[in-house]
Amino acid sequence: MHDTDTIAALATAPGEGGIAIVRVSGPEAEKLLQSLFVSRRDFDSHRLYYGHIVYQGETLDECMAVLMRAPRTYTREDVAEIHLHGGDWAAQSVLRALYALGARAAEPGEFTRRAFMNGRIDLSRAEAVMNLISADSHRAARAAVRQLSGGVSAFIRAAQEELIALLSGAAAAIDYPEEISFEEAAGNIGPRARALAEKLDAACDERGARIAEQGIEAVLCGRPNVGKSSLLNALSRQERAIVTSIPGTTRDIIRADVMIDGLRVHFSDTAGLRESGDTIEQIGVDRARRAIAGADAVLTVFNAGEPMTEEDTALLRETAHSPRIIVLNQCDRPMVLNPQNFDHPVVVSAATGKGIPELEKRVAAFGAGAGESALTQQRHMALARQAAAALRAAADICENGEDVSLAVIDLQAALAVLGRVTGEQVDEKLIDDIFSRFCVGK
């Protein structure tokens, strides 16, 4: 990959659409645009112009074009964009012309990589670009925007500044032992290093980050014929599950995705929990129990119009330590079960929709705060925990009365690890790996 090359790629999704944007970046961007764009030659930077793309005497498309001169561009290079009619032919024709005139096809993520290499954004903000593109919920998008705005960078840099202050204190004790004793330096460094380690650990919320990115796993469980399938259909607003009066209709897990309060919720309707001589049904019951064990929210469903059975009572015991919501379904019929005998139940009717909004609110509550922690990416959290471990090792050295110079090694290690979050301390292989996940044109 040669950063002095001029690169070009389709910046919009391929296929038919209202508009297609071809992006060009590099030292030859203005020259290439002037070679193809027939309208004017005296471009003002960052101004959109109307014209035509003409190559070898053939008009390829009527279009709009903009030239953005460095450094006020996405890549901090000269950037040109050509806004064409949507569709493959026009965009690919323009790209072929650009390649023939000397541009190179951009590799995945190369525009954003150049933004990083040219110092416009750090590595964490570059990763946020991809997160924002792939976000499929409001929570995931909000976390990506916060990271893109420098939230992660600011947190990491504050931690680095604290580490540099600790290293300065240690250096002073090493260089001027007659003024600052090792004991005095250790008494200052140890508690501060441990406090910073705790701060880094507190910034890592793996569960919240997973929920913001992937959604809540909510499992509907209960004995056969309590209305789980009807409830799934009511929550998803579509006929996802087969509903009959025959017990054991659902034998495998049926899923439906719903957006609630900016969070994606994956509802799973499971087989009715009972012992069965039917081999297939029993496999479904076993899968249901595994789904319950891994759920973020367990909707334990009972038929409000029937007395509790031994199976119901066993289910209450089985889910007692789960993140549970007790659901009393079929409240549109005469109720036999008393809600006061249960722990904060939600009374609903899958048939009429009564109580469904309250149930959705309770499910969404399991994702409260998801994506709001300072660090929301697995790579960043792993590095923060690694830095926290090095800080604790330094604190142990200070508290055990060992030589402060030994703590310096761990403090420097923590500083280097945090530099990998923002890209200050990073190898080419990691950069290649991160940007290879991007789409071409971004």
User: Using alpha carbons only, what angle is made at residue 347 by residues 345 and 348, rounded to the nearest 5 degrees?
Assistant: 140
Summarised one tens digit per residue, pLDDT across range 30-76 is 999 999 999 866 889 999 999 999 999 999 999 999 999 999 999 99
CATH number assigned to the domain comprising residue 166: 1.20.120.430
Structural domain span for residue 64: 7-121
Tell whether 391 and 352 lie within a shared domain: no
Q: Give me the chain's average pLDDT, please.
A: 88
Residue 282 lies in a domain: yes
Domain shared by 40 and 152, yes or no: no
DSSP bridge pairs for 7: 25, 104
- Per residue in 343-364, pLDDT (tens digit) is 999 999 988 999 999 999 999 9
Count of helix runs (H) and strand runs (E) in the chain: 15, 13
Residue 1 has pLDDT above 50, yes or no: no
What are 137-156's pLDDT values in tens digits? Answer: 888 888 889 888 888 999 99
Q: Which helix (H) or strand (E) holds 408?
A: helix 404-422
Does residue 23 sit in the same domain as residue 101?
yes
Peptide bond just before 27 cis, omega within 30 deg? no
Percent of the chain exceeding pLDDT 90 equals: 56
Q: How far, CA to CA in Å, does 438 sit from each of 13, 105, 152, 353?
A: 13, 15, 20, 42
314 and 357, same domain (yes or no): yes
Tell me: do 134 and 101 sit in the same domain. no
Contact by Cβ (8 Å): 421, 203? no
Q: Is 119 exposed, middle or buried (0-12, 13-18, 19+ CB in 10 A)?
A: exposed
Instruction: Report if residue 418 sits inside a domain.
Output: yes
More reliable by pLDDT, 23 or 254: 23
For residue 213, being part of any structural domain is answered with: no
C-alpha separations of 213 from 299, 375, 386, 390 in Å: 22, 13, 23, 29
Q: Kindly tell me if the per-residue pLDDT of 97 is higher than 70.
A: yes
Q: Tally Cβ neighbours within 10 Å of residue 146.
A: 16
CA–CA dist 328, 88 (Å, integer) = 54
| Residue 442 within any structural domain of the chain | no
Q: What is the DSSP letter of 52?
A: E
Residues 57 and 72 in one domain: yes
What's the CATH code of the domain at 83? 3.30.1360.120
Domain end residue (candidates: 121, 146, 170): 121
The C-alpha atoms of residue 353 and residue 344 are separated, in whole angstroms, by 19
**Does 138 fall in a domain?**
yes
> Residue 403 above 90 pLDDT?
no
The residues pairing with 55 across neighbouring beta strands, listed in sequence order, are: 58
Tell me, yes or no, whether 115 and 238 share the same domain. no
Name the domain boundary from 121, 146, 171.
Answer: 121
Query: Does residue 65 lie within any of the structural domains?
Result: yes
Q: Within 10 Å of residue 188's Cβ, how many Cβ atoms?
A: 18
How many structural domains comprise the chain? 3
Is the residue at 16 inside a domain?
yes
CATH number of the domain where residue 278 is located: 3.40.50.300
Are residues 135 and 116 part of one domain?
no
Q: 181 with 269, same domain?
A: no
Read off the pLDDT of residues 167-186 as tens digits, 9 standing for 90 and up: 998 888 887 777 777 788 78
Same domain for 172 and 256? no
Same domain, 229 and 354: yes
Predicted confidence at residue 247, as pLDDT, reads 47
pLDDT exceeds cutoff 50 at 368: yes
What are the tokens at 214? 């992937």
Where is the domain boundary, 87, 121, 155? 121
- Do 254 and 281 fall into the same domain? yes
Is there a domain that residue 439 lies in?
Answer: no
